[in-house]
Amino acid sequence: MKSICTKTLNLAWAICFLLFAGCTGQKDTPSEDPVDALKLKDYEPISVFNLEEHHPTAAKFSTIDMHSHAYRTDEAGIREWAKILDENNIEKVIVHTQAFGEEFDRLYDLFTGISDKFELWCNLDMTKWDQPEFPECAVKELERCFAKGARGVGELIDKGMGERVSSSGREMGLHFNDPKFDALFEKCGELGMPVSIHSGDPIWMYGPMDEHNDGYMNAKEWMIDLSTPGILDLDGVVKAFEECVARHPNTQFIACHLININHDYPRLGEILDRHPNLWIDISARHQETCVTPRATKSFYEKYQDRILFGTDNDPSPDMYHSQWRILETEDEHFYLKEQSYHWPMQGIGLSDEVLRKIYHDNASRLLSSRK
């Protein structure tokens, strides 16, 4: 009888405890950890280091921006852009229109009618890229654009699927080592028109989108789907580009964004060593390069005669100021809210000699060699 009473009493106490826990909001499982609940897209760290800061508001030396686009297409916006260029000590901007035909003519008249700070380059007419008459038609349009005022070609793009014209953007096109480009690139050399080519994307975009990808937070948005039939990986795209440069030694080529292999400076240096007709621009890769400031500075010093400054971003004052801070200062562990990056930036701290060449002298030498 005593055993039954004891069991009944214990059961009663258990029921009371559960009822009390329910009333007080207690749970059997711990509450969700706020750190686990933080989403990567919401991660916006603020540096806590008490370090000296420098905020240049203009380039230290006169600058030529070798890589921009038609970010402003109205008269008021272009005039404001020209004003910002003056304030930042920028002498000239190369605008890659990625246009030909009537659209190139429209942009050319618009920009050059407002300021001589803008030099507009045309694109190749790729509308017949998959037809036998493509080279002949494209060369004819190239010559017409040159007569209009285009003094360079760009930005051509191959991230793995080739340069192409497609309403869906998913069709396979031509890689730049395709013989169909030969007549065009030879004509560019004949006319003295440098060719600016974007090959690949940063290596993170080609890797698995998992916990080991240290560029995941940006790579996820720009990822390259290597499961697409016929697509080239980053190594393949770089090899195709290098074959193109080798086949046309009398044409000057500009590899946008350090050929997207700034993760492998030894390989990039070897490619430059093999091809004296090749230049590289550092546009839109300041954030990727400044995370390895010592290796980047060493590379820039070694190849200081082959590197061109570029931005390839919306021409706001903050955007330009971030370029000067990264290249000119030795500031450490800072974040740029105007850039969508989640890792800290480091100043590279280039010398005056190297800055002058990258900002201006190399571009001036390339542009002045044209016809």
| 179 part of a folded domain | yes
Give the separation between CA 191 and CA 144, rounded to whole angstroms.
12
CA distances from 222 to 77, 168, 201, 204, 207 (A): 28, 17, 8, 9, 11
What is the per-residue pLDDT for 279? 98
Model confidence at 83: pLDDT above 50: yes
| 20 part of a folded domain | no
What is the per-residue pLDDT for 371? 65
Is the backbone peptide bond immediately before 155 cis, with ω within 30 degrees of 0? yes
Contacts (Cβ under 8 Å, ≥6 apart) of 152: 94, 119, 121, 122, 193, 194, 195, 196, 370
What's the one-letter identity of residue 366? L
Using alpha carbons, select from 293, 281, 284 the residue that is nearest to residue 334.
Answer: 293
Model confidence at 172: pLDDT above 80: no
Model confidence at 78: pLDDT above 60: yes
| 39 part of a folded domain | no
- For residue 169, how many other CB atoms are within 10 A of its CB? 8
- For residue 367, how many other CB atoms are within 10 A of its CB? 18
> Could you give the 3-state DSSP secondary structure of residue 65?
strand
DSSP state of 96: E
Q: Extract the tokens encoding 333.
A: 């562990």
**For residues 345 and 336, is the Cβ–Cβ distance under 8 A?**
yes
Provide the number of structural domains found in the chain. Answer: 1
- pLDDT tens, residue by residue, 204-247: 999 998 888 888 878 888 889 998 888 999 999 999 999 999 99
Distance, CA of 298 to chain centre: 21
> Could you give the 3-state DSSP secondary structure of residue 108?
helix
CA distances from 48 to 2, 213, 344, 346 (A): 66, 25, 12, 15
Where in the sequence is the domain holding 314, given as residue range(s)?
A: 53-368
Model confidence at 169: pLDDT above 70: no
Lowest mean pLDDT among 23-27, 270-274, 307-311: 23-27
Mean pLDDT of the chain: 89
Give the separation between CA 320 and CA 302, rounded to whole angstroms.
25
| 186 part of a folded domain | yes
Q: Identify the H or E element spanning 187.
A: helix 182-191
User: pLDDT-based confidence at 167, cuts 50/70/90?
Assistant: very low
CA angle, corner 233, sides to 121 and 175, nearest 5?
40
Model confidence at 8: pLDDT above 50: no
Model confidence at 365: pLDDT above 50: yes
What is the per-residue pLDDT for 221? 83
Classify residue 63 by burial, with Cβ atoms within 10 Å: 0-12, 13-18, 19+: buried
Model confidence at 318: pLDDT above 70: yes
What is the per-residue pLDDT for 23? 46
**Mean pLDDT across the stretch 143-154?**
97
Give the separation between CA 305 and CA 370, rounded to whole angstroms.
18
- pLDDT tens, residue by residue, 303-315: 999 999 999 999 9
What is the per-residue pLDDT for 21? 45
- pLDDT tens, residue by residue, 48-71: 888 999 999 999 999 999 999 999
| 17 part of a folded domain | no
Using alpha carbons, select from 338, 234, 320, 368 the residue that is nearest to residue 56.
Answer: 320
User: pLDDT-based confidence at 287, cuts 50/70/90?
Assistant: confident
Give the separation between CA 127 and CA 138, rounded to whole angstroms.
9
In this prediction, what percent of the chain has a pLDDT beyond 90? 73
What Rg value do the Cα atoms of the chain yield, rounded?
27
User: pLDDT-based confidence at 103, cuts 50/70/90?
Assistant: very high
User: pLDDT-based confidence at 18, cuts 50/70/90?
Assistant: very low
What is the per-residue pLDDT for 343? 84
Give the separation between CA 254 and CA 308, rounded to whole angstroms.
9
- pLDDT tens, residue by residue, 110-127: 999 999 999 999 999 999
What is the per-residue pLDDT for 25? 47
CATH number at residue 154: 3.20.20.140
**For residues 357 and 89, is the Cβ–Cβ distance under 8 A?**
no
| 114 part of a folded domain | yes
Half-sphere exposure of 1 (CA within 13 A, CB side): 0
| 177 part of a folded domain | yes
| 66 part of a folded domain | yes
Q: Extract the tokens encoding 71.
A: 């970010």
The phi and psi torsions of 231 (rounded to 5 degrees) equal -70, 145
Half-sphere exposure of 70 (CA within 13 A, CB side): 22
| DSSP bridge pairs for 196 | 254
Give the separation between CA 283 and CA 260, rounded to whole angstroms.
10
**Mean pLDDT across the stretch 151-159?**
96
Model confidence at 187: pLDDT above 80: yes
Model confidence at 4: pLDDT above 50: no
